[in-house]
Every structure is written in C-alpha cells, then in structure tokens.
Amino acid sequence: MEQTFTRLKNIRPSAEFQARSKMLILSSAQNQPRPFTLADLLPEMMQSSFAFGLSALMIFMMVGGISLFNRKFVSPAVLSALDANSLNNEIEKMDIQIQIAQVRYYENSAKKVEVALNETSGDALGDTDAQLRSLLNDSNL
C-alpha cells in the first residue's frame, strides 16, 4: 500500500500546462494591499482591550473589590454608616440625647433625694414639733 502511495507521487502535470499556466499567471497584475485603515486596527484593539479589561476585572475580584461593590450598590445602609456627614449628625444627635438623659436623671435623682431627705427629716421634725408642743403646753401650764 505504501508503495502504491509512493508511486502515486509520480503523477505530475504536463510540462505544456505548467508553462502555459505559469505564463498566464505571471502576466496578470497582483492585487495591491489595501491601505491601512481603522477597520484593520479595530479588531486587534478590541481583542487587546478585552484582554486588559478581563485582567483588570480579575485583579479587582482578587483584591476584594466585589465586597466593596456589594457594600456600595447592594447594601446602601451599610455604606451610609461610612459617610462622614451622616456620622457627624448622628454623633451630634447622640450628644443632645445624652444631655437630655442627664438632665432627666438629675431631675429624677434630685426629686428622689428631696423625698428621701423629707422622709428622713420629716420624722425628726415631727419629733421636734411634738417636743415643742409639749414644751409649750408645759409652759402654759
């Protein structure tokens, strides 16, 4: 079989055809290459920019860009907590609330102290009054 294949290699075109065809071909003009245009460059640019874009995306994903992306676009509440203005407002509100709470505390505690003092002093005063009354009564007598 191999021999048959090798012998098939002996098939050749006729010398007459070869000469005639060659002459005809070489007597015709070549196509001039088209001038370089943007259309020629565009596919290569697209290809390279796609490669760069893909690489950038991969790096972005690798350094945790996705989580930042999620915070920014998926969880706005979380992101608003990172906003400086809103944080300042929140801190100011907290101060006011703390002051009000302190005032309330002092008020409540003052009242409680007053009541306690009254209670404690009430008994003492009551005794003194009674003593005074008894003394007055004794003196009147």
Contact residues for other proteins, defined by CB under 8 A: 1-5, 7-14, 17-18, 21-22, 24-26, 28-34
Using the minimum distance from each CB to other proteins, give the nearer residue, 28 or 85: 28
CB of 49 to other proteins, least distance (A): 22
81 near 89, Cβ under 8 Å?
A: no
**DSSP 3-state of 29:** coil
| Burial (Cβ within 10 Å: 0-12, 13-18, ≥19) of residue 79 | middle
Using the minimum distance from each CB to other proteins, give the nearer residue, 48 or 99: 48
Q: Phi and psi of 100, rounded to 5°?
A: -60, -45
CB of 50 to other proteins, least distance (A): 21
Using the minimum distance from each CB to other proteins, give the nearer residue, 18 or 120: 18
Using the minimum distance from each CB to other proteins, give the nearer residue, 13 or 64: 13
Please tell me the distance from the alpha carbon of residue 32 to that of residue 56, in angstroms, as a whole number: 40
CB of 25 to other proteins, least distance (A): 5
Among left, alpha and beta (phi > 0; psi -120 to 50; other), residue 127 is alpha
CB of 74 to other proteins, least distance (A): 44
